[in-house]
Chains A and B, each alone.
Chain A
Amino acid sequence: MSTAHDTTTTAAAAPAPTTRTGKAADYLDQRTGIGGVVKEFARKVFPDHWSFMLGEMALYSFIALLISGVFLTMFFEPSMALTQFEGEYPATATGQTVSVAYASTLEMSFEVRGGLLMRQVHHWSALIFMASIVVHMMRVFFTGAFRKPRELNWLVGFTLLILGLAAGFSGYSLPDDVLSGNGLRITDGVVKSIPLIGSYMSYMIFGGEFPGEHIIPRLFTVHILLVPALIVALIALHLFLMVLHKHTQFPGGGRTDKNVVGYPALPVYVAKMTGNFFIVFGVLVLMGATMAINNVWNYGPYDPSPVSAGAQPDWYMLFLEGSLRLMPGQGTEWVIFGYTLPLNVLIPAVVVPGILFTFLIVYPFLEARVTGDKREHHVLDRPRNVPVRTALGVAFLSDFILLAAAGSNDLIATHFGMSINEITWVYRILFFLLPVAAFVVTKRLCLGLQRKDRELVLHGHESGRIVRYANGEYVEVHTPLDDQERWMRVNYDAPAPLEIEPKMDARGVKRKGYGADKRWQGLSRFFYEDRVEPVTPAQLAAAHSHGDHDALEAGGQQAAPAAVGSGSTTGTDSQEH
């Protein structure tokens, strides 16, 4: 009987499995059809680059957060009920009236074996989680990995960044200590500043007036259920899209938009990714074991009166803190028809992050529009080859870092014995100057590097070998680039600004939509006016034929539009309109 069944369900030719693994696989495949999945993925190729590990680090620190977080929930009680602290350690807390949340935090630190370790691992993991998200995002931005078809996945990643901030913020406030309580109070102040609904939003968050007795249980639910569930769902979507699109690859020999070059999932990436997870988790545990973090018993339970000087939020909130610190107060609170509009809070806490986040959301679509680009991109850009994108990224980054430094201006003042007022004023001015300077310098650096690439392709590397000709002339011998290196330095696009149709149509009537086109063209010029075209084989041949150094400089000129680019792009770009 049984053999008859086997032959009907499996392929007639396939013999029944005999090994234990074979039997198990057969059992599973008959019920799930997993064979197809294994065939699809086992030898799937992924490209290799160290920077592709950054997103993985975010994923693995999230797993570390889940593991250590489950441990913590077993001992933490999210209640604001007041209690006398019974524990003997820390001695300063004994007998104090504290919230149950605070008491359970101390108990899990001092009485649960490994409790303090897990608390510290959890906190460090949160910091590293956010850091790897940000660095991963920088990699994606600067290499242009957000381009078609990955714009939507960029938005998924952006949402994960925001959810990460929400997770960190809600978790940070749970121990109900003085430091996090004052953080909540600042949040309350920011929420209240929102026009029309601010006061009601404050009531909504706290279930009444600050601090009330609901906020810790509410944050707990947000922290352990709502936000992590969303993060898990979006990570799944993020990875699904990553597999669907197949990973991007860095430019190089044999790498095109139509293939993927790398190593197979089995065995290489199974080993590398598993190994990476354990290394990331291991380093986080090492940090938790050796570096104290958030010793809440040193701060004491929440009390609305005291506050500690030199207090900083976790690093990912520092830019908001710095933004609040830099905003001058004089004249920035407006009263309109008797209603108060505190711009001294709204601008730094709502508008400034709003600008940053809006930039991140719209950038992929903006760049595609000004490039007139509708192709799929799977080969990454070298950052130098897209000077304005790189410069914009560095400009935003420089202000982000400046604001984070401004969030520590009190520490800078006390550590270096400087006047806090002067530091603040310097930062206020730099907030406007630094991004502009960073933009200009970065753009020039990129163009310079591109010219260097041209020069290397045309002339080769300096060999250090000096040759004297019979006529007495000394010449340094240049080594021509090998095929791979030359390909890396010439294989890129240098798009020209958009060309638009003329203002008047054929019958001399003013064309509708001309104004909008004109504005897009202006933006496109901002992006692509200055560009360095890649060397063409003809130029290389020309350089070799006369072999004279000076004669070749023209080839390296910036934009070289007359010779190379301009006037040539009309056909491709105008189809946009």
Chain B
Amino acid sequence: MSDMNHTNDNSAEVTTPAGAGTDVVQSDKFTDPGVPAHRPRLTDVDPRSAKRNERIVTFLFALSCLGAIGTIVAYVAVPPEGSTGSVRLSTLLLGAGMAVSLLGIGIAGIHWAKALMVDTEMVQDRHPIRSSDEVRADAVRDLNEGLEDSGVVGRRGLLKGAALSALALFPLTIAVPLIGSVGGDWNISKFKHTIWKKGTRLALDPSGRPIKASDVNIGSAFHVVPETTEEFRQSHEWITEKSKAVVLMVRVRPEDLKSDQSPEGEQWSYDGIVAYSKICTHVGCPVALYEQQTHHLLCPCHQSTFDVADSAKVVFGPANRPLPQLPIAVDDEGYLVAQDDFAEPIGPSFWERLK
């Protein structure tokens, strides 16, 4: 009883019928009955069954050949040109043939192994993973001899220090140029500005047409970008700038507009028209779903909900801050324009956001 952990050890000897029964300690633990006797399969006892299963395996390999040929036939006979439907058909036929060719081999192999190959269990010994004490001693001796043979006599510390320093410094020759260039100009203050400027017209996304205040009906939501040249809109800079500059603009009844973000003495909305950054303050998805009745804006990615009639405050979800407001006004021709860039960085929070 006193050595529970050890007598329960799985590694206790299993095939020692000699000691069993007489030994007192043995009564603490059942004896291992040994590997179960082999139970013959139908194919082991009935030669006809074995023969039949051999035919099945042969048939499966033959089926696989047909599948491979089928794929080649489909490749030649059903070209995917013409329509989406023909692409689907070609994909289906090529894939079906290929699947038959693969599954034929696979099932044949497994069936062969299970039905025909000898299934008598074999037993092999394991050996402890650790090396024996002699091997360990030899290894330590070899290491010591190797160190002695390294030839350094005096001032070992200095040489070791110099070698380690050299090894530690050499990666810098790769890392410094790489890190210097991998982040572009490393000017992270770009997070804080967009291309909105005083007087930039609000334009429709994606057409780029400027918007008149009179075109904005109550209850409607507009996906807005800054007006730029057509040439700029075909460039990469545009995609990057657009990522920060997109705005969602809605018009609510002026009496429904509880508040917006304009500071004392300024008017950031225009006759119930309010424009907020479309980039969620959570992790930056475009906040695209507008619910007219409640004036709620919902981010489809993580369901942060903002109330556009109340300074775009967070009503629900993982976002913490309101969407920044774009101050807007109307120019002489009646077009909606920005009064200025956003007053705070748009999008998700980052360490230096308020610095």
Contacts and interface: CB of A to CB of B under 8 A. Distances in A.
Given A253-B35, A279-B110, A487 B122 contact: no
Interface string A248-288: 00011111111111111001100110111111111101101
A331 B183 CA distance: 32
Interface string B1-26: 11111101111101100000000001
Contacts of B223: 305-306
B32 interface: yes
Nearest to A420: B303
A264 to B, nearest CB: 6
Contacts of B101: 282
A256 B34 CA distance: 10
A428 to B, nearest CB: 11
Contact of B353 (A120, A194, A304, A340): A340
Given A254-B36, A496-B4, A185 B240 contact: no
* Majority secondary structure of chain A interface residues (helix, strand, loop or mixed): mixed
A192 B353 CA distance: 10
A246 interface: yes
Contacts of A491: 10, 30, 32
Given A185-B285, A278-B106, A305-B242, A199 B27 contact: no
Contact of A199 (B36, B108, B128, B352): B352
B282 A344 contact: yes
Interface stretch (B87-95, B146-154, B267-275): B87-95
B355 interface: yes
A255 B314 CA distance: 62
Interface in A176-199: 182, 185-186, 188-190, 192-199
A182 B11 contact: no
Given A289-B98, A491-B30, A149 B126 contact: no
A208 interface: yes
A282 B129 contact: no
B123 A182 contact: no
Given A117-B94, A339-B351, A568-B4, A344 B84 contact: no
B123 A259 contact: yes
Interface in B209-246: 223, 225, 234-236, 239-240, 242-244, 246
Contacts of A344: 282, 318-320
A376 B11 CA distance: 9
Nearest to B82: A89
A171 interface: no
A443 interface: no
A404 interface: no
Contact of A568 (B1, B29, B87, B314): B1
B320 A332 contact: yes
A299 to B, nearest CB: 13
Contact of A271 (B1, B112, B184): B112
Contact of A571 (B2, B81, B106, B236): B2
Contact of B110 (A111, A114, A275, A288): A275
A192 B348 contact: yes
A338 B354 contact: yes
Nearest to A89: B84
B254 interface: no
Contact of B124 (A44, A89, A204): A44
Contact of A305 (B90, B246, B347): B246
Contacts of A271: 109-110, 112-113, 117
B110 A329 contact: no
Nearest to B81: A111
Nearest to B102: A282
A193 B4 contact: no
B289 interface: yes
B65 interface: no
A261 B300 contact: no
Nearest to B248: A305
A340 B242 CA distance: 25
Contacts of A377: 10
Nearest to A536: B28
A73 interface: no
Interface stretch (A307-315, A429-437, A545-553): A307-315
Interface in B266-288: 278, 282-286, 288
Given A209-B190, A311-B301, A493 B348 contact: no
A45 B124 contact: yes
In the complex, which of the residues B84, B105, B239 has the most CB atoms of chain A within 10 Å of its own CB atom? B239
Contacts of A204: 179, 182-183
Interface in B123-174: 123-126, 128-129
Interface stretch (A18-26, A132-140, A320-328, A446-454): A320-328
B191 interface: yes
B122 A286 contact: no
A348 interface: yes
Contacts of A257: 9-11, 126
Nearest to B345: A340
A569 interface: yes
B96 interface: yes
A331 B94 CA distance: 56
A341 B205 CA distance: 33
B105 A483 contact: no
Contact of A340 (B121, B182, B349): B349
Contacts of A272: 109-110, 113
B175 interface: no
A501 to B, nearest CB: 18
A113 B90 contact: yes
A495 interface: yes
6 contacts: A114-B90, A256-B32, A279-B110, A342-B320, A345-B318, A410-B303
Given A182-B285, A210-B243, A271-B112, 12 more contacts: A111-B80, A114-B90, A195-B351, A199-B188, A199-B352, A255-B10, A257-B10, A258-B11, A260-B123, A260-B125, A327-B318, A342-B320
Shortest beta-carbon contacts, A-B, top 9? A289-B95, A275-B109, A189-B283, A278-B106, A254-B35, A282-B102, A208-B184, A279-B106, A282-B103
